[in-house]
Amino acid sequence: MEVAIIGAGFAGIGAAIKLKEAGIEAIKIFERKKELGGTWRDNTYPGCACDIPSFLYSYSFEPNPEWSESFSPHHEILAYLKNCASKYDLYKHIQFETAVLSATFIDDKGYWEILDNNNKYYHARSVISCSGPLNEPVYPDIENKEAFEGELFHSLNWNHQYDLKNKRVAVIGTGASAIQFVPEVAPKVSQLTVFQRTAPWISPKNNQAIDEISKNRFRKFPAYQKFWREFIYWFLEFQGLSQYKDNKIRAWRKKVTTEHRMSQIKDSDLLKKTTPNYEIGCKRILISDNYYPTLERENVTLETTSIKRFTKTGIELNDGNQLDFDVVIFGTGFKATTFGHIYDVIGLENRNLFKEWDITGAEAFKGINVSGFPNFMLVVGPNTGLGHNSIIHMMESQYNYIVDYLLKLKKQPDNYFNIKPEVQKEYNINLHKKLEPMIWNKGGCNSYYLIDGKGKNTSIWPGSTISYRKLTRKTSLADFEISKIKS
């Protein structure tokens, strides 16, 4: 292979499309599951939907006039990705049910050797890692979990065979997944207790159905849909300015979310519990129109006393109170800043990339290249995540850079490129200087953007998506050590 792509989610599908458009056809996509889709295949919990508007959460080169709502449900996004794979003839490149165990750079040959779960080896000149940061669930470290005799599962692995009707349900977590499935679960169960560690900031969602008249308009006039995409994009960029410093935009966002909370919650004790104690934007700002009203249902309790341990029949709190449940659902997120659960990436001098990152924290050059790992690239790598806009825009910027890199590499068949360590180091020093005064570091919260919730920020891009687009427009070979393949 010329290029191996690991992962067939949004990142991998988009990368393959752009490589083929550039004339790079000798590619293989390794996908560990039976079908493509990544997070939109795996997350099937009730109410699962995107929290970025549909027109923006799609490839710019492949608009979709068929979205049914402003914020698409997961099954529509999955169908969109499958349509893209069919339209661009990608299925012939995808090898399903193939989990990559390791990728090892053979420097004297100038290629990567890939080992899969079937004990088969493959060779590729370049590797693009598109495995994504949100695919491995996090479970809180709660004592005695194995003693609980009821049903227990994570939102990522929703048990659709288990009937929640008239059950006593505990939900642990109040993040982006939980605020979507809690309103769906509450009407079905006899009792629902939501365990909250930290109150999230929640903005109005204002989701709207897209009627057939509008769809016809988008079909006939693609420029009209492009206009809405651009409008939404610039509005979110404007909102994102609140993350960089305390300004009028931040004050306006705080006012909107506060009024939203106060208008939907009448109970004074509940209002106090749902009021965040940190600056808006420090953690991911969530969107929902039905989460707060759900908390006021007679069969729903918001519990803020911390959990001590599990018991046979439920949960014991730190105040000694014991609660019985039939089922416990974890809405506690993903391993976003640890990487040891992913495949091994072995570079020069036998260095193991993801194991190093678990010790030092993830770093890369522009979130794409890592020194010591030639011809290895990441999509949605370190510090390319966003707190304000569509990650698809960042992916497309990375595609520009990666395609340019690979076309330059193609012109030098006897060489491989390795980002200079001093270039990577200087880039990251400057990046973290920019991050230091920003909301994620100074907003008074512990978030999944940071290592262990409070350390180094390895997740967020400290700027506009336009600035990142400019940064990744081209590859400069002056940034790389160019080495001759020995044989």
Last residue of a domain, one of 299, 330, 361: 330
pLDDT band at 453; cut points 50, 70, 90: low
Q: What is the mean pLDDT of residues 190-206?
A: 96
Torsions phi, psi for 465 (to 5 deg): -70, -25
Query: Is residue 474's pLDDT more than 90?
Result: yes
φ/ψ (deg, to 5) at 105: -85, 125
In angstroms, the CA 340 to CA 240 distance is 32
Mean pLDDT of 320-328: 96
Same domain, 205 and 81: no
Q: What is the pLDDT of residue 340?
A: 67
* Mean pLDDT across the chain: 94
Among residues 35, 36, 40, which one has the least CA distance to residue 12? 36
111 lies in which domain range?
Answer: 3-136+335-484
pLDDT digits (tens, 9 = 90+) for 360-370: 889 999 999 99
User: 49 in helix, strand or coil?
Assistant: strand
Domain identity same for 322 and 339:
no
Tell me what the mean pLDDT of segment 106-128 comes to: 96
pLDDT digits 0-9 by tens, 390-430: 999 999 999 999 999 999 999 999 999 999 999 999 999 99
> Do 172 and 301 share a structural domain?
yes
Distant-in-sequence, close-in-space partners of 436: CB < 8 Å, separation ≥ 6: 442
Are 10 and 105 contained in the same domain?
yes
Bridge partners for 147 per DSSP: none
State how far the alpha carbon of 258 is from the alpha carbons of 236, 265, 271, 380, in Å: 19, 11, 10, 32
Q: Does residue 308 carry a pLDDT above 80?
A: yes
> Is 159 within 8 Å of 36 (Cβ atoms)?
no
Does 289 score more than 90 pLDDT? Answer: yes
pLDDT in tens, 17-68: 999 999 999 999 999 999 999 999 999 999 999 999 999 999 999 999 999 9
Q: How far is CA 344 from CA 81, 88, 147, 485, in A?
A: 27, 30, 34, 23
Residues 117, 69 within the same domain: yes
Given a cut of 90, is residue 70 above it in pLDDT?
yes
Per-residue pLDDT band at 202 (split at 50, 70, 90): very high
Amino acid found at 385: G
What phi-psi label fits residue 112: left (phi over 0), alpha (psi between -120 and 50 degrees) or beta?
beta
Contacts of range 136-140, beta carbons closer than 8 Å, 24 or more positions apart: 136/334, 136/335, 136/341, 137/330, 137/332, 137/333, 137/334, 137/335, 138/332, 138/333, 138/334, 138/335, 139/330, 139/332, 140/172, 140/307, 140/330, 140/332
**Is 344 in the same domain as 466?**
yes
DSSP string, 273-325: HTS-SS-TTSSPPEE-SSHHHHHTSTTEEEE-SPEEEE-SSEEEETTS-EEE-
CA distance 146 to 312: 9
Q: Are 98 and 122 in contact (CB under 8 A)?
A: no
79 and 41 fall within a common domain: yes
Instruction: Tell me what pLDDT residue 446 has.
Output: 84
pLDDT at 268: 95
pLDDT value at residue 365 = 98
Q: Average pLDDT in the 317-322 region?
A: 95
The closest alpha carbon to 296, from 259, 270, 325, belongs to: 270
Q: Which of 314, 330, 346 is the last residue of a domain?
A: 330
221 and 363 belong to one structural domain: no
Residue whose C-alpha is closest to residue 442's, from 284, 286, 278, 285: 278
Domain boundary among 305, 330, 355: 330
Is it the case that residue 487 has pLDDT exceeding 90? Answer: no
Q: What is the mean pLDDT of residues 157-165?
A: 96
Mean pLDDT along residues 164-183: 97
Of residues 453 and 355, more confidence is placed in 355
Work out the number of other CB atoms within 10 angstroms of the CB of residue 194: 25
Q: Are 166 and 228 members of one domain?
A: yes
Residue 226 has pLDDT above 80, yes or no: yes
Q: What pLDDT shows up at residue 451?
A: 77
Report residue 428 as tokens: 């990251």
Structure confidence at residue 339 (pLDDT): 72
Q: What is the pLDDT of residues 250-261, one digit of tens each?
A: 999 999 999 999
Q: Are residues 149 and 107 in the same domain?
A: no
Task: Please name which of 343, 346, 416 lies closest in space to residue 104, comparing C-alpha atoms.
Answer: 346
Q: Which pLDDT score is estimated for 478?
A: 97
Residue 197 phi/psi, 5° resolution?
-90, -45
Clarify whether residues 8 and 113 are in a common domain: yes
Report percent pLDDT > 70 for the chain.
98
CATH number of the domain residue 287 falls in: 3.50.50.60
- 176 and 267 in a single domain? The answer is yes
Domain count across the chain: 2
